[in-house]
Amino acid sequence: MSQSGDKDAFAQLVQKYSPDAYRTAFMVLRSSVDAEDVVQEAFLTCYRKIVSFRMDSSFKTWLYRIVVNLCYDKLRKMNREAAAMNKWSSNLKIGEGNMDGVENQIDLKDVISGLKPEHRLVLTLYYGMDFSIQKVAQTLGVPVGTVKSRLNSARNLIRERLERGQEYAL
Amino acid sequence: MHCKAVRLLFNDLLDNTLHAGEQHQVSEHLKTCDSCRNEFLRMERADNILRGVVRDMVSSIDVPGTLGLRIEKRLFGEQRRKRTLAESLGLIIRKPAIAAAIIFIVTTAGILSFYNHFSLTGRQSDMVMQSPSPNSNMDFENSAVSEAGREAQTAAVPLTGAAADDSSEKQAELNNERASDTQKSIVKKPAIEEAPLTIAQVPRDLENTQDSNGKQAVTGVIPLGTGAAGPAMQRGTLEEAAAEVGFNPAIPSYLPGDVELVEVSWLSGTVHQHYRVDQLSFTVSQSLAGATEINLQEEDPEAKLVWINGENGTLRETSFVTDGDIVGGSSTLRWQQGEYFYTITGELPEEEIMKIAASLK
């Protein structure tokens, strides 16, 4: 039905997918204005191209792929990541300063926020949106091995931080 | 299989991307090697913590309540402009009869307006005094219709005013549209179309200009804003979750051992029931399947196909046991039953997860 550009069907897709698409964009861009821009633009792109959309992949995957590409465009265009990294690195310094002997003060959210955007994207889609590895790879347009590699890096980092915290606690 | 080779596969085991043969080999090794088992459990713990933190970060993002509304406004607003242009050019050029009809209506309206201005001045000013709307187009229309039609429109005008109180932005846009689109303001419309319009109605209304009628305009309302808001993850009782999502979450009548329901949470129409005993935990998630058909096999082509209460589902298993005791690992079972989509994920072997799934009522 939505292939014919039916507005009711598309309005349902907007209502169903826009909140999580927004969350995904926000996890990458860390800006509500930019995240909303990206999600609006993504739905606009889908709506314009819905007639040519092939049903051999799900709408959700298609939408997320557009969201991801727009996020990357945004990061490149506005060079926002550099500014954001400065902000997060200052947070990380505060976190490290408080880590002397107290495991539960490790703020893993800061660690995740300090990862590269492509790593955060993988974590968001895999853990936050329950995508399978294959689907994450399809959405990002990268090999499955790349997704696994990014996941493993994040896991190792978290594990390292947890174990460091335990050492301090002991 | 040696410890070194087994440990290289731990990440794949966590990702559910091992082939059945490899998975079996790793499971067998973990049954007998305490060192590897402990190492895997540490990795699995880190994985679970990472999952929890990411989910918490994602669910704590506040989605603007009017996001869906703004997207629809941008989507359909853009299309409306395109269609109006297409109509204003295409219809007139391709359908001379319509062009002739418009000319006739314009001419008739002009003559009647001229007549009313000089013969019904007193009555017209009374009517304008009663109307809270200063819309000049509306006055023009009033002057162009019959006495009966005028009464109907007079009744309709306050409705438009009320709509402006509730949604001045939408009404302002609507008024601007009317003011700028002279062709549309000239074409006579039934009085019922002056009832309060939503943004969603505007594009439909204009799209259907050719054969517009009151019924189409009124029944075309999309319940905007009802599902667009994306609240953060909420926690509470099953009853509270049911009230929020609009359905009663199915509860498993079978639970392994002393497993207890420790938390109920819900987000974007999905209810999560978190069960736990000691180190064992799993989550039962349920949501309305919705209009979009979910192709489970497509989403996870390598998952095992299973049957739950006569329905097809997919299972990803990384569980393993030692002497009948659950040691670790996790499984994810996904299936659709009736109008609901279910996921059970956690540190459970296949037989346990299947029993729980079959007992959901």
Flag if A22 and B226 touch (Cβ within 8 Å).
no
Tell me the pLDDT tens digit for each residue of A36-86: 999 999 999 988 887 655 554 578 888 999 999 999 888 887 665 555 555
pLDDT at position A39 is 95
Going by pLDDT thresholds of 50, 70 and 90, the confidence category of residue B212 is: very low
Same domain, B357 and B258: yes
Which DSSP helix (H) or strand (E) runs through B336? strand B331-337
State how far residue B288 is from chain A, nearest Cα, in angstroms.
11
Closest to B334 measured CA to CA, from B14, B47, B16: B16
Q: Which two tokens stand for residue B145?
A: 């219709």
Same domain, B278 and B328: yes
| Burial (Cβ within 10 Å: 0-12, 13-18, ≥19) of residue B342 | buried
Q: For residue B76, which residues of chain A lie inside 8 Å, CB to CB?
A: 7
pLDDT at position A125 is 94
Same domain, B305 and B192: no
Q: What are the residue ranges spanned by the domains of chain A? A: 1-78, 80-170
Partner residue facing A27 (CB), from B58, B75, B76: B58
Residue-by-residue DSSP string for A90-157: HHHHHHHHTTTT-GGG--HHHHHHTS-HHHHHHHIIIIIS---HHHHHHHHTS-HHHHHHHHHHHHHH
Query: What's the CA gap between B269 and B273, in Å, rounded?
Result: 13
Same domain, B194 and B79: yes
Q: Which CATH number fits domain A80-170: 3.40.718.10, 1.10.10.10, 3.30.70.360, 1.20.1090.10?
A: 1.10.10.10
Among B62, B93, B108, the domain-final residue is B62
State how far residue A97 is from chain B, nearest Cα, in angstroms.
21
Residue of chain B nearest A138, judged by CA positions: B299
Task: Name the B residues in 110-129 with CB < 8 Å from any A CB.
Answer: none
Partner residue facing A19 (CB), from B55, B63, B74: B63
Number of domains in chain B: 3
pLDDT mean across residues, chain B: 63
- Cβ contact B272:B264 at 8 Å: yes
Q: For residue A47, which residues of chain B lie inside 8 Å, CB to CB?
A: 75, 79
Position with higher pLDDT, B85 vs B265: B265
- For testing the chain A interface, which of B63, B295, B314 should be mutated: the one with the most A CBs within 10 Å? B63
Tell me the pLDDT tens digit for each residue of B281-295: 778 888 887 655 566
Same domain, B50 and B79: no
DSSP label of B297: H
Tell me the pLDDT tens digit for each residue of B39-81: 898 888 888 888 888 988 898 898 988 898 889 888 877 554 4
| CATH number corresponding to A1-78 | 1.10.1740.10
Flag if A13 and B292 touch (Cβ within 8 Å).
yes
Same domain, B292 and B172: no
Q: For residue B10, which residues of chain A lie inside 8 Å, CB to CB?
A: none
- What secondary structure, in 3-state letters, does B152-172 show? HHHHHHHHHHHHHHHCHHHHH
B302 touches chain A (CB under 8 A): yes
Q: For residue A129, which residues of chain B lie inside 8 Å, CB to CB?
A: 58
A112 touches chain B (CB under 8 A): yes
Same domain, B82 and B145: yes
pLDDT at position A57 is 56
Tell me the pLDDT tens digit for each residue of A132-143: 898 899 888 889
Flag if A10 and B75 touch (Cβ within 8 Å).
yes
B203 touches chain A (CB under 8 A): yes
Task: Name the B residues in 72-101 with CB < 8 Å from any A CB.
Answer: 72, 74-76, 78-79
B232 touches chain A (CB under 8 A): no
State how far residue B93 is from chain A, nearest Cα, in angstroms.
25
The alpha carbon dihedral of A75, A76, A78, A84 has a sign of positive
In one-letter notation, the amino acid at residue B98 is I
Flag if A19 and B17 touch (Cβ within 8 Å).
no
The answer on pLDDT for A25 being more than 80 is yes
pLDDT mean across residues, chain A: 76
Residue-by-residue DSSP string for B77-122: HHHHHHHHHHIIIIIHHH-HHHHHHHHHHHHHHHHHHHHHHHHSHH
Same domain, B203 and B297: no
The answer on pLDDT for A27 being more than 60 is yes
On whether residue B48 sits in a domain, the answer given is yes
Identify the domain containing residue B20 by its residue range. 1-62
Tokens 């001229």 sit at which residue? B114
Return phi, psi of residue B348, to 5°. -135, 145
Flag if A134 and B300 touch (Cβ within 8 Å).
yes
- Cβ contact A74:A38 at 8 Å: yes
pLDDT at position B108 is 67
